[in-house]
Structure 1
Protein backbone atom coordinates (compact mmCIF):
# COMPACT_ATOMS: atom_id res chain seq x y z
CA UNK A 1 0.00 0.00 0.00
CA UNK A 2 2.79 2.44 0.80
CA UNK A 3 4.53 1.66 -2.49
CA UNK A 4 1.29 2.30 -4.43
CA UNK A 5 0.86 5.69 -2.82
CA UNK A 6 4.44 6.64 -3.64
CA UNK A 7 3.96 5.53 -7.27
CA UNK A 8 0.78 7.58 -7.56
CA UNK A 9 2.49 10.57 -6.09
CA UNK A 10 5.32 10.31 -8.58
CA UNK A 11 2.86 10.07 -11.48
CA UNK A 12 1.06 13.16 -10.29
CA UNK A 13 4.31 15.06 -9.98
CA UNK A 14 5.36 14.09 -13.50
CA UNK A 15 1.97 15.15 -14.89
CA UNK A 16 2.15 18.45 -13.09
CA UNK A 17 5.71 18.99 -14.35
CA UNK A 18 4.65 18.33 -17.95
CA UNK A 19 1.70 20.67 -17.58
CA UNK A 20 3.97 23.41 -16.30
CA UNK A 21 6.42 22.81 -19.15
CA UNK A 22 3.61 22.89 -21.74
CA UNK A 23 2.27 26.09 -20.25
CA UNK A 24 5.70 27.66 -20.27
CA UNK A 25 6.27 26.61 -23.90
CA UNK A 26 2.88 28.06 -24.93
CA UNK A 27 3.60 31.32 -23.15
CA UNK A 28 7.06 31.47 -24.75
CA UNK A 29 5.64 30.84 -28.22
CA UNK A 30 2.94 33.47 -27.71
CA UNK A 31 5.54 35.94 -26.48
CA UNK A 32 7.77 35.32 -29.49
CA UNK A 33 4.82 35.74 -31.87
CA UNK A 34 3.85 39.00 -30.19
CA UNK A 35 7.43 40.24 -30.36
CA UNK A 36 7.72 39.31 -34.05
CA UNK A 37 4.42 41.05 -34.79
CA UNK A 38 5.61 44.18 -32.99
CA UNK A 39 8.90 44.17 -34.90
CA UNK A 40 7.07 43.76 -38.21
CA UNK A 41 4.72 46.60 -37.34
CA UNK A 42 7.65 48.87 -36.45
CA UNK A 43 9.40 47.96 -39.72
CA UNK A 44 6.28 48.72 -41.77
CA UNK A 45 5.87 51.99 -39.89
CA UNK A 46 9.43 53.02 -40.80
CA UNK A 47 8.80 52.08 -44.43
CA UNK A 48 5.65 54.24 -44.46
CA UNK A 49 7.54 57.21 -42.98
CA UNK A 50 10.29 56.75 -45.57
CA UNK A 51 7.67 56.70 -48.34
CA UNK A 52 6.11 59.96 -47.12
CA UNK A 53 9.55 61.58 -46.87
CA UNK A 54 10.30 60.44 -50.41
CA UNK A 55 7.10 62.10 -51.67
CA UNK A 56 7.99 65.28 -49.81
CA UNK A 57 11.48 65.36 -51.34
CA UNK A 58 10.07 64.75 -54.81
CA UNK A 59 7.61 67.63 -54.45
CA UNK A 60 10.33 69.95 -53.11
CA UNK A 61 12.66 69.00 -55.96
CA UNK A 62 9.97 69.57 -58.59
CA UNK A 63 9.01 72.94 -57.10
CA UNK A 64 12.67 73.99 -57.10
CA UNK A 65 13.12 72.96 -60.73
CA UNK A 66 9.95 74.81 -61.71
CA UNK A 67 10.88 77.95 -59.74
CA UNK A 68 14.36 78.29 -61.21
CA UNK A 69 13.09 77.74 -64.74
CA UNK A 70 10.26 80.31 -64.66
CA UNK A 71 12.63 82.92 -63.17
CA UNK A 72 15.28 82.35 -65.87
CA UNK A 73 15.51 85.62 -67.78
CA UNK A 74 18.22 88.22 -68.31
CA UNK A 75 19.17 91.12 -70.56
CA UNK A 76 22.76 91.90 -71.54
CA UNK A 77 25.01 92.70 -74.52
CA UNK A 78 27.10 90.43 -76.73
CA UNK A 79 30.02 91.35 -78.98
CA UNK A 80 30.07 90.01 -82.57
CA UNK A 81 32.73 91.29 -85.02
CA UNK A 82 33.37 94.20 -82.67
CA UNK A 83 29.71 95.24 -82.58
CA UNK A 84 27.95 95.35 -79.23
CA UNK A 85 24.47 93.94 -79.64
CA UNK A 86 21.77 93.81 -76.97
CA UNK A 87 20.49 90.34 -76.14
CA UNK A 88 17.59 89.24 -74.01
CA UNK A 89 16.87 85.65 -73.03
CA UNK A 90 13.87 84.11 -71.31
CA UNK A 91 12.76 80.54 -70.65
CA UNK A 92 9.57 80.99 -72.71
CA UNK A 93 11.65 81.58 -75.87
CA UNK A 94 12.52 77.87 -76.00
CA UNK A 95 10.00 75.08 -76.54
CA UNK A 96 12.24 72.68 -74.62
CA UNK A 97 12.14 74.93 -71.56
CA UNK A 98 8.37 75.32 -71.87
CA UNK A 99 8.07 71.53 -71.99
CA UNK A 100 10.16 71.25 -68.81
CA UNK A 101 7.96 73.81 -67.05
CA UNK A 102 4.79 71.89 -67.98
CA UNK A 103 6.22 68.55 -66.87
CA UNK A 104 7.63 69.80 -63.56
CA UNK A 105 4.31 71.50 -62.80
CA UNK A 106 2.46 68.22 -63.43
CA UNK A 107 4.90 66.27 -61.24
CA UNK A 108 4.53 68.87 -58.48
CA UNK A 109 0.75 68.39 -58.47
CA UNK A 110 1.14 64.59 -58.59
CA UNK A 111 3.62 64.58 -55.69
CA UNK A 112 1.47 66.96 -53.64
CA UNK A 113 -1.64 64.79 -54.02
CA UNK A 114 0.32 61.64 -53.17
CA UNK A 115 1.81 63.40 -50.14
CA UNK A 116 -1.64 64.39 -48.88
CA UNK A 117 -3.02 60.87 -49.31
CA UNK A 118 -0.02 59.09 -47.79
CA UNK A 119 0.38 61.63 -45.00
CA UNK A 120 -3.26 61.28 -43.93
CA UNK A 121 -2.94 57.48 -43.96
CA UNK A 122 0.21 57.70 -41.87
CA UNK A 123 -1.49 59.90 -39.27
CA UNK A 124 -4.46 57.52 -39.12
CA UNK A 125 -2.04 54.56 -38.91
CA UNK A 126 -3.73 53.04 -41.94
CA UNK A 127 -1.89 50.92 -44.53
CA UNK A 128 0.04 53.15 -46.91
CA UNK A 129 -0.96 50.93 -49.84
CA UNK A 130 -4.48 49.57 -49.17
CA UNK A 131 -4.71 47.22 -52.17
CA UNK A 132 -2.80 45.79 -55.12
CA UNK A 133 -4.87 47.91 -57.53
CA UNK A 134 -3.77 51.04 -55.67
CA UNK A 135 -0.17 49.83 -55.78
CA UNK A 136 -0.27 49.22 -59.55
CA UNK A 137 -1.86 52.64 -60.13
CA UNK A 138 0.81 54.35 -58.04
CA UNK A 139 3.57 52.39 -59.79
CA UNK A 140 2.26 53.32 -63.25
CA UNK A 141 1.97 57.00 -62.32
CA UNK A 142 5.49 57.16 -60.92
CA UNK A 143 6.92 55.37 -63.95
CA UNK A 144 5.20 57.64 -66.47
CA UNK A 145 6.24 60.83 -64.67
CA UNK A 146 9.81 59.57 -64.16
CA UNK A 147 10.28 58.93 -67.90
CA UNK A 148 8.60 62.24 -68.75
CA UNK A 149 10.91 64.14 -66.40
CA UNK A 150 13.90 62.40 -67.95
CA UNK A 151 12.82 63.43 -71.45
CA UNK A 152 12.18 67.03 -70.36
CA UNK A 153 15.56 67.28 -68.65
CA UNK A 154 17.33 65.79 -71.66
CA UNK A 155 15.63 68.17 -74.10
CA UNK A 156 16.46 71.19 -71.95
CA UNK A 157 20.06 70.01 -71.53
CA UNK A 158 20.62 70.12 -75.28
CA UNK A 159 19.56 73.75 -75.54
CA UNK A 160 21.50 74.72 -72.42
CA UNK A 161 24.67 73.05 -73.69
CA UNK A 162 24.33 74.94 -76.97
CA UNK A 163 24.12 78.20 -75.06
CA UNK A 164 27.25 77.39 -73.08
CA UNK A 165 29.42 76.14 -75.94
CA UNK A 166 28.19 78.47 -78.68
CA UNK A 167 27.75 77.27 -82.25
CA UNK A 168 30.78 75.81 -83.99
CA UNK A 169 31.99 77.13 -87.35
CA UNK A 170 30.10 80.40 -86.84
CA UNK A 171 31.06 83.69 -85.21
CA UNK A 172 28.29 83.29 -82.63
CA UNK A 173 29.81 83.39 -79.12
CA UNK A 174 29.13 81.54 -75.90
CA UNK A 175 25.90 83.25 -74.85
CA UNK A 176 26.26 82.07 -71.26
CA UNK A 177 29.11 84.53 -70.66
CA UNK A 178 26.91 87.63 -70.94
CA UNK A 179 23.81 85.74 -69.77
CA UNK A 180 25.39 83.92 -66.84
CA UNK A 181 22.44 84.36 -64.46
CA UNK A 182 20.02 82.98 -67.03
CA UNK A 183 22.22 79.95 -67.75
CA UNK A 184 22.80 79.26 -64.06
CA UNK A 185 19.04 79.19 -63.42
CA UNK A 186 18.58 76.81 -66.34
CA UNK A 187 21.36 74.51 -65.12
CA UNK A 188 19.96 74.34 -61.57
CA UNK A 189 16.46 73.67 -62.90
CA UNK A 190 17.69 70.82 -65.09
CA UNK A 191 19.66 69.34 -62.18
CA UNK A 192 16.60 69.25 -59.92
CA UNK A 193 14.54 67.83 -62.80
CA UNK A 194 16.82 64.81 -62.99
CA UNK A 195 16.74 64.53 -59.19
CA UNK A 196 12.94 64.40 -59.29
CA UNK A 197 13.20 61.68 -61.93
CA UNK A 198 15.43 59.65 -59.61
CA UNK A 199 13.07 60.10 -56.65
CA UNK A 200 10.08 58.99 -58.72
CA UNK A 201 11.98 55.91 -59.85
CA UNK A 202 12.86 55.12 -56.22
CA UNK A 203 9.19 55.41 -55.27
CA UNK A 204 8.29 53.00 -58.07
CA UNK A 205 10.89 50.52 -56.75
CA UNK A 206 9.35 50.73 -53.28
CA UNK A 207 5.97 49.88 -54.76
CA UNK A 208 7.45 46.90 -56.61
CA UNK A 209 8.93 45.62 -53.34
CA UNK A 210 5.51 45.90 -51.69
CA UNK A 211 3.88 44.02 -54.58
CA UNK A 212 6.46 41.23 -54.35
CA UNK A 213 5.64 40.65 -50.67
CA UNK A 214 1.84 40.86 -50.94
Structure 2
Protein backbone atom coordinates (compact mmCIF):
# COMPACT_ATOMS: atom_id res chain seq x y z
CA UNK A 1 0.00 0.00 0.00
CA UNK A 2 1.11 3.53 -0.71
CA UNK A 3 2.03 5.65 2.28
CA UNK A 4 0.15 8.94 2.84
CA UNK A 5 3.39 10.86 2.39
CA UNK A 6 4.00 9.27 -1.03
CA UNK A 7 0.45 10.01 -2.17
CA UNK A 8 0.81 13.64 -1.07
CA UNK A 9 4.10 13.95 -3.00
CA UNK A 10 2.49 12.56 -6.15
CA UNK A 11 -0.41 15.03 -5.81
CA UNK A 12 2.02 17.94 -5.44
CA UNK A 13 3.94 16.78 -8.51
CA UNK A 14 0.73 16.64 -10.55
CA UNK A 15 -0.22 20.16 -9.46
CA UNK A 16 3.24 21.46 -10.37
CA UNK A 17 3.08 19.84 -13.84
CA UNK A 18 -0.26 21.62 -14.46
CA UNK A 19 1.27 24.98 -13.67
CA UNK A 20 0.38 25.00 -10.00
CA UNK A 21 -3.40 25.27 -10.58
CA UNK A 22 -5.90 22.42 -10.82
CA UNK A 23 -8.67 23.43 -13.23
CA UNK A 24 -11.72 21.30 -14.05
CA UNK A 25 -12.36 20.36 -17.67
CA UNK A 26 -14.70 22.84 -19.39
CA UNK A 27 -16.15 20.23 -21.77
CA UNK A 28 -19.24 19.20 -19.75
CA UNK A 29 -20.32 22.83 -19.36
CA UNK A 30 -19.77 23.58 -23.07
CA UNK A 31 -21.68 20.46 -24.13
CA UNK A 32 -24.59 21.27 -21.81
CA UNK A 33 -24.77 24.81 -23.17
CA UNK A 34 -24.64 23.49 -26.74
CA UNK A 35 -27.50 21.03 -26.19
CA UNK A 36 -29.55 23.76 -24.47
CA UNK A 37 -29.04 26.10 -27.42
CA UNK A 38 -30.01 23.41 -29.94
CA UNK A 39 -33.17 22.58 -27.96
CA UNK A 40 -34.17 26.25 -27.83
CA UNK A 41 -33.68 26.60 -31.59
CA UNK A 42 -35.78 23.51 -32.34
CA UNK A 43 -38.49 24.67 -29.94
CA UNK A 44 -38.55 28.06 -31.67
CA UNK A 45 -38.85 26.43 -35.11
CA UNK A 46 -41.71 24.25 -33.86
CA UNK A 47 -43.52 27.28 -32.43
CA UNK A 48 -43.06 29.20 -35.69
CA UNK A 49 -44.50 26.24 -37.63
CA UNK A 50 -47.49 26.17 -35.28
CA UNK A 51 -47.94 29.92 -35.80
CA UNK A 52 -47.94 29.45 -39.59
CA UNK A 53 -50.62 26.76 -39.39
CA UNK A 54 -52.70 28.84 -36.98
CA UNK A 55 -52.49 31.91 -39.19
CA UNK A 56 -53.43 29.90 -42.30
CA UNK A 57 -56.44 28.46 -40.47
CA UNK A 58 -57.47 31.97 -39.45
CA UNK A 59 -57.22 33.30 -43.01
CA UNK A 60 -59.13 30.45 -44.68
CA UNK A 61 -61.89 30.14 -42.06
CA UNK A 62 -62.41 33.91 -41.92
CA UNK A 63 -62.60 34.11 -45.71
CA UNK A 64 -65.07 31.20 -45.74
CA UNK A 65 -67.30 32.93 -43.20
CA UNK A 66 -67.18 36.23 -45.12
CA UNK A 67 -68.10 34.57 -48.43
CA UNK A 68 -70.99 32.75 -46.78
CA UNK A 69 -72.34 35.73 -44.85
CA UNK A 70 -72.13 37.94 -47.95
CA UNK A 71 -74.83 35.84 -49.63
CA UNK A 72 -77.42 37.68 -47.52
CA UNK A 73 -80.55 38.48 -49.51
CA UNK A 74 -81.01 42.13 -50.41
CA UNK A 75 -84.17 43.87 -49.25
CA UNK A 76 -87.02 43.15 -51.63
CA UNK A 77 -85.03 40.54 -53.51
CA UNK A 78 -86.20 36.98 -54.03
CA UNK A 79 -82.66 35.56 -54.37
CA UNK A 80 -81.70 32.83 -51.87
CA UNK A 81 -79.65 33.54 -48.74
CA UNK A 82 -77.40 31.46 -46.51
CA UNK A 83 -80.02 31.81 -43.76
CA UNK A 84 -82.50 29.85 -45.89
CA UNK A 85 -80.52 26.60 -45.58
CA UNK A 86 -79.57 24.91 -42.34
CA UNK A 87 -76.40 23.36 -43.80
CA UNK A 88 -75.14 26.75 -45.01
CA UNK A 89 -75.89 28.33 -41.66
CA UNK A 90 -73.79 25.58 -40.11
CA UNK A 91 -70.93 26.31 -42.54
CA UNK A 92 -70.94 30.05 -41.89
CA UNK A 93 -71.19 29.84 -38.10
CA UNK A 94 -68.64 27.00 -37.81
CA UNK A 95 -66.08 28.93 -39.84
CA UNK A 96 -66.70 32.08 -37.80
CA UNK A 97 -66.13 30.17 -34.55
CA UNK A 98 -62.92 28.61 -35.90
CA UNK A 99 -61.73 32.03 -37.06
CA UNK A 100 -62.20 33.51 -33.57
CA UNK A 101 -60.48 30.54 -31.98
CA UNK A 102 -57.59 30.77 -34.46
CA UNK A 103 -57.21 34.47 -33.71
CA UNK A 104 -56.72 33.64 -30.03
CA UNK A 105 -54.26 30.86 -30.90
CA UNK A 106 -52.25 33.17 -33.17
CA UNK A 107 -51.93 35.61 -30.29
CA UNK A 108 -50.93 32.80 -27.93
CA UNK A 109 -48.30 31.56 -30.40
CA UNK A 110 -46.81 35.03 -30.80
CA UNK A 111 -46.76 35.38 -27.02
CA UNK A 112 -44.89 32.07 -26.67
CA UNK A 113 -42.36 32.86 -29.41
CA UNK A 114 -41.53 36.31 -28.08
CA UNK A 115 -41.71 35.52 -24.37
CA UNK A 116 -40.60 31.89 -24.25
CA UNK A 117 -43.56 30.90 -22.04
CA UNK A 118 -47.12 29.84 -22.75
CA UNK A 119 -49.96 32.36 -22.46
CA UNK A 120 -51.82 30.06 -20.05
CA UNK A 121 -50.06 27.79 -17.51
CA UNK A 122 -48.22 25.15 -19.52
CA UNK A 123 -50.32 22.13 -18.50
CA UNK A 124 -53.52 24.09 -19.18
CA UNK A 125 -52.25 25.47 -22.48
CA UNK A 126 -51.24 22.12 -24.01
CA UNK A 127 -54.54 20.46 -23.08
CA UNK A 128 -56.58 23.52 -24.10
CA UNK A 129 -54.96 23.57 -27.54
CA UNK A 130 -55.29 19.83 -28.11
CA UNK A 131 -58.91 19.56 -26.96
CA UNK A 132 -60.14 22.58 -28.92
CA UNK A 133 -58.21 21.60 -32.04
CA UNK A 134 -59.94 18.23 -32.02
CA UNK A 135 -63.43 19.58 -31.35
CA UNK A 136 -63.29 22.43 -33.85
CA UNK A 137 -61.65 20.30 -36.55
CA UNK A 138 -64.47 17.76 -36.37
CA UNK A 139 -67.05 20.55 -36.27
CA UNK A 140 -65.56 22.23 -39.34
CA UNK A 141 -65.34 18.95 -41.26
CA UNK A 142 -68.94 18.12 -40.40
CA UNK A 143 -70.16 21.57 -41.47
CA UNK A 144 -68.29 21.56 -44.77
CA UNK A 145 -69.43 18.02 -45.53
CA UNK A 146 -73.06 19.01 -44.94
CA UNK A 147 -72.55 22.12 -47.08
CA UNK A 148 -71.04 20.06 -49.89
CA UNK A 149 -74.00 17.70 -49.91
CA UNK A 150 -76.44 20.63 -50.05
CA UNK A 151 -74.47 22.33 -52.82
CA UNK A 152 -74.65 19.17 -54.91
CA UNK A 153 -78.38 18.90 -54.42
CA UNK A 154 -78.88 22.53 -55.45
CA UNK A 155 -77.06 22.08 -58.75
CA UNK A 156 -80.03 20.42 -60.40
CA UNK A 157 -82.65 22.83 -59.05
CA UNK A 158 -83.89 26.26 -59.99
CA UNK A 159 -81.95 27.84 -57.11
CA UNK A 160 -78.63 27.79 -58.97
CA UNK A 161 -80.28 28.47 -62.31
CA UNK A 162 -81.95 31.67 -61.17
CA UNK A 163 -79.14 32.80 -58.83
CA UNK A 164 -75.86 31.40 -60.05
CA UNK A 165 -73.83 33.90 -57.98
CA UNK A 166 -75.31 32.52 -54.77
CA UNK A 167 -74.23 28.97 -55.61
CA UNK A 168 -70.76 30.09 -56.69
CA UNK A 169 -70.21 32.00 -53.44
CA UNK A 170 -71.45 29.04 -51.42
CA UNK A 171 -69.08 26.70 -53.25
CA UNK A 172 -66.14 29.05 -52.64
CA UNK A 173 -67.02 29.31 -48.95
CA UNK A 174 -67.19 25.53 -48.57
CA UNK A 175 -63.87 25.08 -50.40
CA UNK A 176 -62.18 27.65 -48.17
CA UNK A 177 -63.66 25.89 -45.16
CA UNK A 178 -62.05 22.61 -46.22
CA UNK A 179 -58.69 24.42 -46.57
CA UNK A 180 -59.15 25.80 -43.06
CA UNK A 181 -59.88 22.28 -41.82
CA UNK A 182 -56.66 21.01 -43.42
CA UNK A 183 -54.48 23.52 -41.56
CA UNK A 184 -56.44 23.07 -38.35
CA UNK A 185 -55.81 19.33 -38.66
CA UNK A 186 -52.07 19.97 -39.01
CA UNK A 187 -52.23 22.17 -35.93
CA UNK A 188 -54.01 19.36 -34.09
CA UNK A 189 -51.13 16.99 -34.91
CA UNK A 190 -48.60 19.38 -33.41
CA UNK A 191 -50.73 20.08 -30.35
CA UNK A 192 -51.03 16.31 -29.89
CA UNK A 193 -47.25 16.06 -30.04
CA UNK A 194 -47.00 18.70 -27.32
CA UNK A 195 -49.45 16.81 -25.11
CA UNK A 196 -47.54 13.54 -25.58
CA UNK A 197 -44.25 15.28 -24.77
CA UNK A 198 -45.77 16.80 -21.64
CA UNK A 199 -47.12 13.43 -20.44
CA UNK A 200 -43.83 11.63 -21.07
CA UNK A 201 -41.27 14.28 -20.14
CA UNK A 202 -43.18 16.85 -18.10
CA UNK A 203 -42.61 19.53 -20.75
CA UNK A 204 -44.42 20.53 -23.94
CA UNK A 205 -41.22 19.98 -25.91
CA UNK A 206 -38.25 17.80 -24.99
CA UNK A 207 -35.20 16.51 -26.86
Q: Which structure features the higher share of strand residues? A: 1
- Paired residue for 2:51? 52
Answering whether residue 21 of structure 2 is matched by residue 37 of structure 1, we say: no
- Paired residue for 2:203? none
C-alpha separation in 1, matches of 2:14 and 2:131: 66
C-alpha separation in 1, matches of 2:31 and 2:16: 26
TM-score w.r.t. the length of structure 2 is 0.77
C-alpha separation in 2, matches of 1:87 and 1:129: 49
CA positional deviation for 1:51: 1.4
CA contact (8 A) 1:56 1:115 kept: yes
TM-score w.r.t. the length of structure 1 is 0.75
- Paired residue for 1:163? 154
Runs of 5+ consecutive residues of structure 2 not aligned to the other structure: 1-8, 199-207
Answering whether residue 190 of structure 2 is matched by residue 206 of structure 1, we say: yes
Change (3 A) 1:204 1:87: same
CA positional deviation for 1:137: 1.9
C-alpha separation in 2, matches of 1:64 and 1:137: 25
Residue 176 of structure 1 aligns to a residue whose secondary structure is: helix
Runs of 5+ consecutive residues of structure 1 not aligned to the other structure: 1-7, 76-85, 167-171
Q: 2:141 aligns with which of 147, 150, 167?
A: 150
Change (3 A) 1:29 1:60: same
Change (3 A) 1:128 1:44: farther
Number of matched residues? 187
C-alpha separation in 1, matches of 2:78 and 2:59: 32
C-alpha separation in 1, matches of 2:54 and 2:27: 41
CA contact (8 A) 2:130 2:195 kept: no
